[in-house]
């Protein structure tokens, strides 16, 4: 029943977008109520579909759109889970926004853009072919540009929006190049109609017809697109600056929409990645490095939203790391990474909305100006503590089950390949995560206020979503961890995964490698250790941080300046290399080609003019001779049949 109305999942938020954009000022809450209802309706349909296809099932509907593309809807376990997460978290953020944006004059534009943003991400989840996927993917990028720059009169917001748009375009160009190369490699594959050529099922069936070198290039280009959208190194630099938009936008981007798109792309095209082990290895190591790299910067950031931004980059690295271990484990990693993505959506949305509540209640965004807010903001403090525990992976929170599964997967990968580097990366990132998130919590809610402010709890429209998300962050993992992975395993048939692995020339592990007891409890140990370190430093003040947190400390200075990425990317790469190369190329084109053509034409004209000038002697006999010679030449041409 619900499957027949799947198209409404996209259509209803689009209708809300149009009505709110044009008639928002005349609608209740300036369009906020309409957007809430539209997104909630999308969630109800999504949940209904999930229930209908559980525990296994796949539904695909396609409509012929134009010559090279079918507009299709693909509903399988992966899509159904993604639809429910996006629509539900977006619904709660929209409810929260009604109170949070109550005094903003541009509410109609805000709710129109968030409805369109949700539409775009739902479209990504529902797409049954890679070209349609790319169209909605681009719409996600456009909406992020509009929402990051929502307060466009603020120079930093406008700059952050442009930065996000341009950096993610780099990844999008790579993704599009991958689609083109894929099409060129499978265009001769037998299908009923060319419009079906780029459907995911056709792509997977054609993997064996693509040369291995081309397959590696395609998957790396796809991953380039994922790096841009999901803020992975080296295209992560836009994500922390995306905090310039409203906090609710940050929650939407970091939990339910844009940054999850890259992980979803790799999960959706996983059989292609599995057929290219080199590319999957790159995914694993980029993810592991990003998880640690971003976490180190989260240790020293003082802006509450920026700490959470680096946390998102780090956790997305965790998900990529999980997908990369599929080279040894197989499609099971899709379930593990998506399980962490869903859990992350709950606790990261909760963290950002709690941050918004803190900013709303304290009028501060700098952690150094906070402190002692627990007594005045108990709901916000407790729900944020739950989210922090979930992020750290402390049992029985939802984060424990998914993070533990990822770390166990890296251990299995290590046993299978003899390389424990990824396992070490996962453990180090887990420790750093625990330290920076509890640093944030202790600096915000414990001790004495470090500035003069009058804290107050947020209204129910803001605290109720916090409570709902806190409950999910506590119990979802406990309830769903058993069934979740098994359900998502139905996304790809076993013969497809085995075939892709065979094409890649590697064998999947047939038995699970159970780590020793100490290693089994390692995620909990490092989580608790990080909590204790933060408690001793930021609550008990056992360690004097003044000497450590000093700009004379080279390590602190390096982290505070974010490894000087701004200087490297702008001053070195953009200006020194790219600008100079383009300048030299432009100078060559201008001086050698354009000026050469102009100078050459003028030289020819001057030369011809000089020859003609010399013929103008003023002597009548010369003119008569020219006429006679011309007549003789004309006679020869006529006799020869040339004229």
Partners of 63 in the β-ladder: 71
Domain for residue 200, yes or no?
no
Residue 193's φ and ψ, nearest 5 degrees, are -150, 145
Domain boundary among 505, 527, 560: 560
> Could you tell me if 552 and 579 lie in one domain?
no
**pTM of the predicted model, to two decimals?**
0.86
Q: pLDDT tens digit string along 540-587?
A: 877 776 666 666 778 878 887 777 877 777 777 767 777 777 777 777
Query: Which residues have CB under 8 Å from 433's CB, separation 6+?
Result: 295, 298, 311, 314, 315, 391, 392, 393, 530
Report the number of distinct structural domains present in the chain: 2
> Could you tell me if 501 and 598 lie in one domain?
no
> Could you tell me if 412 and 344 lie in one domain?
yes
> Could you tell me if 447 and 555 lie in one domain?
yes
132 pLDDT more than 80: yes
Domain for residue 518, yes or no?
yes
Tokens of 148: 């990051």
> Could you tell me if 343 and 401 lie in one domain?
yes
Domain for residue 537, yes or no?
yes
Residue 42's pLDDT band, with cuts at 50, 70 and 90, is: very high
Domain boundary among 529, 560, 591: 560
Mean of pLDDT over the chain: 85
Residue 595's φ and ψ, nearest 5 degrees, are -65, -35
Domain for residue 124, yes or no?
no
> Could you tell me if 487 and 593 lie in one domain?
no
For residues 423 and 324, give the distance between their C-alpha atoms in angstroms, rounded to a whole number: 12
> Could you tell me if 629 and 498 lie in one domain?
no
Cβ count within 10 A of residue 568: 15
Domain for residue 36, yes or no?
no
Q: pLDDT tens digit string along 370-405?
A: 888 888 889 999 999 999 999 999 988 999 998 988
Domain for residue 20, yes or no?
no
> Could you tell me if 528 and 574 lie in one domain?
no
Q: pLDDT tens digit string along 495-511?
A: 888 888 888 776 665 56
> Could you tell me if 392 and 485 lie in one domain?
yes
Percent of the chain with pLDDT over 90: 36
Q: Are 316 and 329 in contact (CB under 8 A)?
A: no
pLDDT at 609: 78
* Residue 589 domain boundaries: 566-639
Query: Which residues have CB under 8 Å from 334's CB, separation 6+?
Result: 78, 267, 270, 323, 326, 488, 489, 491, 492
> Could you tell me if 447 and 369 lie in one domain?
yes
Domain for residue 496, yes or no?
yes
> Could you tell me if 544 and 578 lie in one domain?
no
Domain boundary among 560, 586, 618: 560
Mean pLDDT score, 279-299 = 93
Q: pLDDT tens digit string along 53-95?
A: 876 666 655 555 555 566 788 888 889 999 999 999 999 999 9
Q: pLDDT tens digit string along 424-438?
A: 999 999 999 999 999
Distances (CA, A) of 23 to 19, 40, 79, 103, 372: 5, 20, 33, 18, 43
Domain for residue 280, yes or no?
yes
> Could you tell me if 474 and 588 lie in one domain?
no
């Amino acid at each position: 029943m619900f499957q027949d109305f799947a198209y409404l999942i996209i259509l209803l938020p689009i209708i809300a977008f149009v009505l709110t954009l044009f008639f928002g000022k005349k609608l209740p809450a300036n369009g906020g109520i309409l957007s809430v209802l539209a997104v909630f309706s999308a969630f109800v349909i999504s949940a209904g579909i999930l229930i209908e296809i559980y525990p296994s099932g796949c539904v695909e509907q396609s409509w012929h759109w134009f010559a090279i593309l079918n507009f299709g809807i693909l509903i399988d376990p992966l899509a159904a889970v993604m639809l429910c997460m996006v629509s539900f978290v977006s619904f709660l953020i929209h409810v929260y926004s009604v109170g949070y944006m109550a005094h903003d004059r541009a509410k109609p534009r805000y709710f129109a853009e968030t409805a369109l943003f949700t539409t775009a991400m739902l479209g990504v989840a529902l797409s049954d072919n890679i070209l349609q996927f790319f169209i909605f993917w681009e719409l996600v990028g456009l909406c992020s540009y509009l929402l990051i720059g929502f307060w466009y009169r603020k120079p930093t917001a406008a700059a952050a929006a442009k930065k996000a748009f341009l950096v993610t375009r780099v990844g999008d160009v790579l993704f599009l190049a991958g689609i083109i190369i894929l099409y060129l490699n499978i265009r001769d594959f037998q299908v009923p109609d060319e419009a079906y050529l780029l459907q995911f099922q056709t792509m997977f069936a054609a993997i064996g017809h693509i040369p291995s070198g081309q397959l590696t290039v395609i998957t790396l280009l796809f991953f380039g697109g994922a790096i841009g959208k999901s803020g992975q190194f080296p295209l992560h630099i836009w994500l922390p600056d995306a905090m310039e938009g409203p906090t609710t936008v940050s929650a939407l981007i970091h939990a339910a929409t844009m940054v999850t798109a890259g992980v979803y792309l790799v999960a959706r095209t996983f059989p292609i990645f599995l057929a290219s082990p080199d590319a999957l290895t790159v995914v694993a190591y980029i993810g592991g490095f990003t998880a640690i790299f971003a976490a180190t910067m989260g240790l020293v950031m003082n802006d509450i939203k920026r700490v959470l931004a680096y946390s998102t980059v780090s956790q997305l690295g965790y998900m990529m790391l999980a997908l990369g271990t599929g080279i040894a484990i197989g499609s099971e990693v899709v379930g593990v990474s998506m399980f962490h993505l869903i859990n992350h959506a709950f606790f990261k949305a909760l963290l950002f909305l709690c941050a918004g509540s803190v900013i709303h209640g304290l009028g501060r965004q700098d952690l150094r100006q906070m402190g002692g807010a627990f007594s005045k903001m108990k709901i916000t403090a407790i729900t944020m503590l739950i989210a922090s525990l979930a992020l750290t992976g402390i049992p029985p929170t939802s984060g424990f089950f998914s993070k533990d599964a990822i770390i166990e997967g890296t251990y299995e990968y290590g046993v299978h390949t003899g390389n424990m580097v990824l396992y070490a990366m996962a453990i180090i990132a887990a420790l750093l995560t625990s330290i920076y998130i509890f640093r944030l919590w202790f600096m915000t809610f414990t001790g004495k206020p470090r500035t003069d402010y009058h804290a107050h709890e947020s209204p129910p429209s803001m605290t109720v979503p916090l409570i709902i998300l806190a409950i999910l962050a506590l119990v979802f993992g406990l309830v769903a961890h058993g069934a979740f992975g098994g359900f998502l395993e139905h996304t790809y048939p076993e013969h497809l995964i085995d075939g892709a692995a065979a094409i890649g020339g590697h064998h999947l592990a047939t038995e699970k490698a159970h780590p020793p007891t100490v290693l089994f409890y390692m995620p909990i140990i490092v989580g608790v250790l990080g909590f204790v370190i933060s408690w001793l430093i930021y609550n008990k003040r056992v360690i004097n941080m003044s000497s450590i947190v000093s700009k004379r400390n080279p390590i602190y200075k390096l982290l505070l300046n974010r490894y000087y990425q701004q200087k490297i990317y702008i001053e070195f790469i953009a200006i020194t290399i790219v600008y100079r190369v383009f300048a030299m190329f432009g100078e060559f084109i201008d001086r050698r080609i354009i000026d050469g053509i102009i100078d050459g034409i003028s030289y020819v004209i001057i030369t011809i003019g000089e020859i003609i000038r010399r013929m103008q002697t003023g002597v009548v006999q010369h003119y008569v001779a020219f006429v006679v010679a011309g007549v003789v030449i004309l006679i020869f041409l006529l006799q020869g049949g040339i004229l």
